[in-house]
Structure 1
Amino acid sequence: MRIAPALLLLLAACSDPKEATDRALAAAEDKAADDGRIECAAEGAEAFERVCTMERVKGPEGTTLTIRHPSGGFRRLLVTTDGRGVIAADGADPAVVSVVSGDRIEVALAGDRYRLPATVKGGGR
Structure 2
Amino acid sequence: MACLAILALGACGERGEGTPDRRDDQPAERIVCAHPGAPLTRDCTVERSRGEGGVILTIRHPDGAFRRLLVGGDGRAVTAADGAQQASARIVDGGETEITLAGDRYRLPATVEDTTP
Which TM-score applies when normalising by structure 1?
A: 0.60
Q: Deviations over 1:49-104 (max 9, x none)?
A: 000000010133210000001110100000122743x1100111100111125742
Q: Which residue of structure 2 aligns with residue 109 of structure 1?
A: 101
Matched, 1:58 2:50: yes
Question: Which structure is higher in strand share?
Answer: 2
Does the aligned pair in 2 maintain the 1:39–1:49 contact within 8 Å?
A: yes
The count of corresponding residues between Structure 1 and Structure 2 is 85
- SS of the residue corresponding to residue 106 of structure 1 reads strand
Q: Note if 1:36 corresponds to 2:29.
A: yes
CA RMSD of aligned residues (A): 2.1
What is the identity, as a one-letter code, of the residue corresponding to 2:62?
P
Contact 2:28 2:46 (8 Å CA) reproduced:
no
Normalized per residue, which structure has more helix?
1
- For CA contacts below 8 A with separation 6 or more, give which structure has more relative contact order: 2
Question: In structure 1, how many angstroms separate the alpha carbons of the residues matched to 2:111 and 2:58?
Answer: 19
Structure 2 unmatched runs, 5+: 1-26, 113-117
The answer for the alignment partner of 1:67 in structure 2 is: 59
Give the letter aligned to residue 92 of structure 1: A
Match of 1:90 among 79, 82, 95: 82
Taking only the aligned residue pairs, the percentage that are identical comes to 54
Moved segments of 4+, more than 4 Å: none
Q: Secondary structure at the match of 2:92?
A: strand
Tell me the secondary structure at the aligned position of residue 62 of structure 2.
coil
Cα 1:72/1:82, change in 2 over 3 Å: closer
